[in-house]
């Protein structure tokens, strides 16, 4: 089993990510665009599985949740009412000598770390990206790329309530892109200017918010553990009063021990009735809820578990990486949770012999209808096992010459390297059972 501290440093994981097609630098053939990344063939599957695991856990798996997919572009008034135009900013300083810019609250020195120059006075820098809607580029046509998916949920609160007939407490989940013009992005996909969020806005009766905050903190912490991150590499951190966002009464961060130190994976905030109240006031719409039990009308409070897809994906990938001694060599293996691994089952014919090919292809056709699969017949079977270990494939199915006669294949387990022989007729059921209940 892997060790407590992640084995991987960032250089290792970045080079593996590129070599095996997880993450590429965006626009690389033009020299790259700073801190912008593209997910390759394996990365896109890993990230899709992270999102599916989240959606299953917080939307499909619960009676008190529904989903939403709101537009990235929203009426500009949304961002005035939400407080983002006024408050969503970081303190920016500029070096008077080399003109590099930094976030003042992240600096450890009073002088420019690049050239030792003096800084300007800090000024507030709004993090929202702006663009124009339609062919006229003036302030009347200015819109923002959303800096959080949450506001799409708040402005649809009445629509969802009326169409889904949900009763409080209930929540709305959403996964989607968000954009922030970060002053200092960095650490690979950890802090970027374009990223994906997975957010829940959970609407509760005022007065029950603190209890629901605790429930969601536990629920979300356990989700990371259940999907393979070792508890030792996770911690909860409650925000100090002076670091709370402008909308929050209380917030807990779930942090991961990244190679450069602890960093936030997800924040769970008590947003009170701040957003619904502001939107009701600014739009003139009634956003209250009628509680049939108590015959009262009120603005619900909101508990918001808000996580980053890219950060979660990076943490799962980092935490799973391991190097195990194997004779004179080292086995690089990623112990990704079986449901997150980009490829769930690899089908490996023992050789490229023409007699084996039709049987092996049939097995692959059978499995690809149920799982993320890969067919690999290049090089020795030992090397192919290693390739699959490195990308975290939990099961390899080997097709050999006996398969042609006895219709049986071998399943090899990534972590124990144990092999079992099973009938092809039972293969889908056996793998589904393993996937659901463990090795």
CB of 325 to ligand GAP, least distance (A): 35
Instruction: Identify whether the C-beta of residue 196 lies closer than 8 Å to the C-beta of residue 317.
Output: no
For ligand GAP, the closer CB: 20 or 180: 180
**Host H or E run for residue 194:** strand 194-204
Report the residue from 23, 42, 160, 199 that binds ligand GAP according to the rule CB under 6 A.
199
307 belongs to the binding site for ligand GAP (CB under 6 A): yes
Question: Burial letters for 224-234: b for 16+ Cβ neighbours within 10 Å, e otherwise?
Answer: beebbbbeebb
d(Cα 104, Cα 101) in Å, to the nearest integer?
Answer: 9
Nearest CB to ligand GAP, comparing residues 196 and 389: 196
Q: Are 176 and 72 in contact (CB under 8 A)?
A: yes
191 scored as a contact of ligand GAP (CB under 6 A)? yes
Q: By C-beta, is 97 or 182 nearer to ligand GAP?
A: 182
174 interacts with ligand GAP by CB under 6 A: no
Does position 150 interact with ligand GAP (CB under 6 A)? The reply is: yes
Give min distance, CB of 296 to ligand GAP, in A: 28
Task: Identify which of residues 271 and 364 has a Cβ nearer to ligand GAP in the complex.
Answer: 271
The torsion angles phi and psi of 300, rounded to 5 degrees, stand at -65, 155
Q: How far is the CB of 167 from ligand GAP (least distance, A)?
A: 24
Q: How many helices and strands, by DSSP H and E, does the chain display?
A: 13, 23
Which positions ≥6 away from 10 have C-beta within 8 Å? 187, 188, 259, 260
152 binds ligand GAP (CB under 6 A): no
- Tell me which stretch binds ligand GAP (CB under 6 A): 158-166, 194-202, 234-242, 361-369: 194-202
Q: Which of 305, 308, 349, 392 binds ligand GAP (CB under 6 A)?
A: 308
Residue 55, CB half-sphere, CA atoms under 13 Å: how many? Answer: 15
| Residue pair 304/202 in contact by the 8 Å Cβ criterion | yes
Question: Shortest distance, CB of residue 308 to ligand GAP, whole angstroms?
Answer: 2
CB of 314 to ligand GAP, least distance (A): 9
Interatomic CA distance for residues 288 and 41, integer angstroms = 45
Give the residue among 279, 272, 263, 265 at the shortest CA–CA distance from 304. Answer: 272
Instruction: Kindly state the tokens that stand for 105.
Output: 């609250």
Kind and range of the H or E element at 248? Answer: none
Structure tokens at 44: 């896109």
- Report the residue from 20, 47, 84, 180 that binds ligand GAP according to the rule CB under 6 A: 180
Reduced to 3 states, what is the DSSP secondary structure of residue 12?
helix
Cα–chain center distance at 75:
27
Q: Is 171 in the site for ligand GAP (CB under 6 A)?
A: no
- Least Cβ distance, residue 313 to ligand GAP (angstroms): 10
Q: Minimum distance between the CB of residue 251 and ligand GAP, rounded to whole angstroms?
A: 8
Fill in the DSSP letter of residue 117: P
Decide: is 192 part of the binding site for ligand GAP (CB under 6 A): yes
Q: Rule CB under 6 A: choose which of 57, 82, 126, 197 binds ligand GAP.
A: 197
**Is residue 389 part of the contact set for ligand GAP (CB under 6 A)?**
no
- Binding-site size for ligand GAP (CB under 6 A) equals 19
146 binding ligand GAP? (CB under 6 A): no
Query: Which tokens sit at 303?
Result: 């508990």
Structural element, H or E, at residue 91: strand 89-94
Residue closer to ligand GAP by CB (options 119, 252) is 252
Say whether residue 311 binds ligand GAP (CB under 6 A). yes
Q: Which two tokens stand for residue 322?
A: 């391991």
Burial label, 335 (beta-carbon count in 10 A; 0-12, 13-18, 19+): buried
Nearest residue to ligand GAP on Cβ basis: 308
Q: Closer to ligand GAP at the Cβ: 196 or 376?
A: 196
Sequence-separated (6 or more) residues with CB below 8 Å from residue 237: 252, 253, 255, 262
**CB 307, min distance to ligand GAP, A:** 5
Stretch that binds ligand GAP, among 100-108, 190-198, 372-380, 381-389 (CB under 6 A): 190-198
CB of 35 to ligand GAP, least distance (A): 9
Backbone phi, psi, residue 167, to 5°: -115, 150
Q: For residue 98, what is the enclosing H or E element?
A: none
The only residue of 45, 270, 273, 310 in contact with ligand GAP, by rule CB under 6 A: 310
Based on the shown chain and the rule CB under 6 A, indicate whether residue 220 belongs to the binding site for ligand GAP: no
Q: Identify residues 246-305 at the interface with ligand GAP (CB under 6 A).
A: 264-267, 304
Q: How far is the CB of 424 from ligand GAP (least distance, A)?
A: 43
Please name which of 173, 82, 93 lies closest in space to residue 128, comparing C-alpha atoms.
Answer: 82
The site for ligand GAP (CB under 6 A) is made up of 148, 150, 180, 182, 191-192, 195, 197, 199, 264-267, 304, 306-308, 310-311
């Amino acid at each position: 089993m892997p060790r407590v501290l992640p084995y991987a440093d960032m250089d290792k994981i970045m080079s593996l990510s590129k070599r095996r097609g997880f993450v590429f630098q965006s626009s690389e053939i033009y020299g790259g665009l700073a801190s912008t990344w593209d997910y390759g063939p394996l990365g896109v599957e890993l990230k899709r599985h992270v999102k599916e695991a989240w959606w299953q856990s917080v939307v499909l798996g619960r009676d008190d949740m529904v989903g939403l997919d709101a537009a990235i572009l929203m009426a500009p008034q949304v961002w005035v009412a939400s407080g983002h135009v006024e408050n969503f900013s970081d303190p920016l300083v500029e070096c008077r000598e080399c003109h590099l810019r930094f976030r003042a609250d992240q600096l450890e020195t009073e002088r420019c770390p690049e050239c030792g120059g003096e800084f300007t006075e800090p000024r507030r820098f709004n993090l929202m990206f702006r663009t124009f809607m339609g062919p006229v580029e003036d302030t009347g046509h200015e819109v923002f790329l959303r800096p959080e998916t949450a506001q799409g949920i708040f402005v649809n609160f009445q629509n969802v309530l009326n169409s889904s007939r949900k009763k409080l407490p209930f929540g709305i989940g959403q996964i989607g892109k968000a954009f922030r013009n970060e002053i200092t992005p960095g650490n690979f996909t950890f802090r970027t200017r374009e990223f994906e969020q997975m957010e829940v806005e959970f609407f509760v009766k005022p007065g029950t918010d603190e209890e629901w905050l605790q429930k969601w903190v536990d629920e979300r912490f356990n989700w990371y553990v259940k999907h393979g991150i070792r508890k030792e590499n996770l911690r909860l951190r409650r925000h100090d009063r002076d670091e709370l966002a402008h909308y929050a009464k209380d917030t807990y961060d779930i942090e991961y021990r990244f190679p450069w130190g602890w960093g936030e994976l997800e924040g769970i905030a008590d947003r009170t009735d701040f957003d619904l109240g502001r939107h009701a006031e600014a739009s003139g719409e009634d956003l209250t809820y009628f509680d049939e039990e108590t015959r009262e009308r009120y603005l619900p409070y909101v508990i918001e578990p808000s996580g980053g897809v890219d950060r979660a994906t990076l943490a799962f990938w980092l935490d799973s990486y391991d190097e195990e001694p194997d004779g004179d060599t080292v086995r690089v293996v990623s112990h990704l949770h079986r449901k997150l691994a980009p490829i769930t089952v690899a089908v490996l014919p023992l050789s490229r012999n023409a007699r084996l090919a039709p049987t092996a292809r049939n097995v692959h056709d059978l499995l690809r209808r149920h799982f993320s699969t890969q067919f690999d017949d290049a090089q020795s079977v030992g090397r192919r096992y290693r390739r699959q270990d490195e990308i975290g494939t939990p099961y390899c199915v080997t097709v050999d010459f006996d398969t042609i006669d006895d219709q049986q294949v071998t399943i090899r387990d990534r972590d124990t390297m144990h092999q079992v022989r099973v009938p092809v007729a039972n293969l889908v059921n056996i793998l589904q059972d393993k996937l659901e209940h463990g090795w």
